[in-house]
Amino acid sequence: MKTWTQALAGLLLAALLQPAWSAPVEDGYDLWLRYRALPAAGQARVMAQARGIVHAQPASPTLQAAVAELKRGVAGLAGREPAALARPADGTLLLVTPASAPAGVDLPWEALGREGYALRSLRLDGRAVTLIAANTDMGLLYGSFAWLRAAQTGADLSRLEQRSAPRVGLRLLNHWDNLDRTVERGYAGASIWDWWKLPDIRDARYVDYARANASLGLNGTVLNNVNAKAESLTRPWLAKAAALAEVLRPYGIKVWLSARFSAPVELGGLKTADPLDPAVRAWWKAKADEIYTLIPDFGGLLVKANSEGQPGPQDYGRDHADGANMLAEALKPHGGLVMWRAFVYSPDASDRAAQGHAEFQPLDGRFADNVIVQVKNGAIDFQPREPFHPLFGAMPRTPLALELQITKEYLGFSTHLVYLGPLFEEVLRADTRAKPEGATVAARVVAMAGVANIGSDRNWCGSHFDCANWYAFGRMAWDPGLASGDVAREWARQTFSSAPRAVDTIATMMTASREMVVDYMTPLGLHHLMGTGHHHGPAPWVDNLERADWNPVYFHRAGRDGIGFDRSPRGSNAVAQYTPDWAARLARPQTTPEAWLLWFHHLPWDHGMASGRTLWAELVAHYDRGVAGVGALRAQWAGLRGDIDARRHAEVAAYLAVQEQEALWWRDACIAYFQSVSGLSLPAGVRPPAQPLEAYKALRFNFAPGRGG
């Protein structure tokens, strides 16, 4: 494989050779809030509607942030900052709430709720104005970002008629950031939270982080890793969190913390953390009082318990509801919430995919009303593709949150271009077949949490295209009905170029990329084939780890007789955890979607596929298709060299080159291994792996990034 040194050398050479007439060099820091100057016609279009701004006085910090963003955006797009006006004139942006709305203007105030907004072009006293209307200043901030998004994406600003309110109430990032600034599953440098310097020194980057999140409608952030340290709840660390809360508050972002369940023992000197012990309950109530004294609008606690070695209520013979309800009781007087993760698995489970449902479904209806159970999109662990988690159709009396991974732990880290919008769309639109009819995952959740891919790298996410996943998560958390392809076009236009050819090409690349990575990593429902611990690269041969469910062979079960995990009634019967319609469909290979086939069934290599090929030939064809797809991405991106600024074009090109090499590695290593265990010859015309299987097995990655925990 080509080395990173060679790839970076190519990057620098490409940048030096970039034509002098190309777009200005950029580094990605501005994300989708670039506000670069539009062509002359676009500048005139923006300035015609934004010569001035009128808003209520005195302005709250949130309203000040909205006005500042409009001024910044218009100045960048049109070359001139709008004037602050006392009363509307032609071409005015008028920010109004019900108390300040002009007489006679009829707006759907009730439908907007606390966070929604309306954008409307109209004539007011003979003057052309644009209303940005909301019930609260927070809604005005969201509406201001929406107007700027419309301006950047070419909407007709003279005929705006938009209304939007979030369909999911809680929209949070989960930072897996540790107190020493390492980031578990982070591939973009150190944590952006400089804990050592806080609370006294507050990096200006925190404001830009808040702006980016507010532009998407995100309203919460969990600052620390779910594999939490008890120290994060001590007074000095709470003061650091309070300092961040002050920065984020004007942008509507509440601070949350991950809590270690054993904190009463580790910090309080108690002999137990039993959730039914009165002293333990008193300790948590006192801690909640302390937190809310420092952070009055604190969102709540996120808890990972009795999973991967983390302490929890089961250590004391209690269940998840006992643990969650104890914390909920402590937070409730302050209006706080508990997000209790349903990601659990133990060494003695016969099928790891079934354990979350087995532990949580019997507790449906037992959780306090300020507890939300946070469920990963699938039952294993953020794989390139998983069936939707059966809990989404099995807990009608419990508020649920959908947990998605924005960082790409199992998807090539920041190196591979994998737009996750299609993955998000796939799970949000999945119909659980629970009653009532049309019970999609999106309709079942009251919150969405995204495991962040943000770090200290200048471009925030490690690679430019990874920022699209942050963007897509935020936009689709606000409105789960958005199509991922539309979101891709929106992001591409704001981030890279407004040129139609460039937008079309980039959006096409993005929407195709997720299926490519499924093809060259885990086709046809295969899962968890990645390297041990670091999850980098293929290792389907690993079978010697301490726990069975840490070994890839546990999941694919390939041998002379076939491949796949039998979760049908003949196997683990995990299909029974789905609603009856789904259970019946997934019980038979003939009615199981091919994309999930080997997730639910162990099938012989000569099993007939819809294409007419055998399962073995189909598997190989998917691997080849995935590699070819990445080659196509490289060619498409190369064709945009004159449309994208030199630095970012060269950086993306270097990453795509590495991605193609690693896709080939995945393809060759997996085919070599599955051929060795199946004893089959390669299908006619198929290129054999470049190296013998032992060469792939010998690869080691002792210092892969993202392993902090």
Catalytic entry in 289, 308, 369, 581: 308
Tokens of 419: 């737009």
State the Cα–Cα distance between residues 639 and 270, nearest whole angstrom.
64
Tokens of 338: 């508990």
CA–chain centroid gap for 669, Å, is 29
Catalytic entry in 177, 381, 426, 466: 381
Catalytic (active site) residue 161: no
Yes or no: say if 433 and 439 are a contact pair by the CB < 8 Å rule: yes
Yes or no: say if 92 and 53 are a contact pair by the CB < 8 Å rule: yes
Dihedral sign for Cα atoms in the order 36, 41, 42, 44: positive
Conformation bin of residue 28: beta by default, left when phi > 0, alpha when psi is -120 to 50: left
* CB burial of residue 229 (10 Å; 0-12, 13-18, 19+): middle
Distance between the two ends of the chain, CA-based, in angstroms? 29
C-alpha to C-alpha distances, 481 to 148, 165, 408, 486, nearest whole angstrom: 21, 12, 23, 11
Strands 127-133 and 161-164: unpaired
State the Cα–Cα distance between residues 648 and 654, nearest whole angstrom.
10
Catalytic (active site) residue 381: yes
Put the strands of the sheet holding 52-54 in their side by side order. 83-84, 52-54, 92-96, 127-133, 117-124, 161-164
Tokens of 103: 């007489």
State the Cα–Cα distance between residues 390 and 487, nearest whole angstrom.
27
Q: Residue 687's closest CA among 699, 677, 697, 675?
A: 675
Conformation bin of residue 208: beta by default, left when phi > 0, alpha when psi is -120 to 50: alpha
At 658 the three-state DSSP class reads helix
Tokens of 514: 């997720």
Q: Residue 130's closest CA among 148, 115, 113?
A: 148
Strands 127-133 and 92-96: parallel
C-alpha to C-alpha distances, 243 to 7, 138, 182, 197, 204, nearest whole angstrom: 41, 20, 20, 11, 13
State the Cα–Cα distance between residues 666 and 676, nearest whole angstrom.
15
Catalytic (active site) residue 308: yes
State the Cα–Cα distance between residues 645 and 640, nearest whole angstrom.
10
State the Cα–Cα distance between residues 268 and 282, nearest whole angstrom.
11
Catalytic entry in 137, 409, 426, 662: 409
State the Cα–Cα distance between residues 476 and 487, nearest whole angstrom.
8
At 124 the three-state DSSP class reads strand
Please compute Rg for the chain using Cα positions.
26
State the Cα–Cα distance between residues 123 and 142, nearest whole angstrom.
23
State the Cα–Cα distance between residues 555 and 565, nearest whole angstrom.
6
Q: Residue 647's closest CA among 4, 1, 6, 22?
A: 22
State the Cα–Cα distance between residues 143 and 98, nearest whole angstrom.
15
State the Cα–Cα distance between residues 213 and 205, nearest whole angstrom.
12
* HSE-up of residue 32 (Cα within 13 Å, Cβ side): 32
Q: Residue 259's closest CA among 218, 310, 183, 215?
A: 310
State the Cα–Cα distance between residues 178 and 193, nearest whole angstrom.
9
Q: Which amino acid is at 133?
A: A
Task: Please give the positions annotated as active site.
Answer: 308, 381, 409
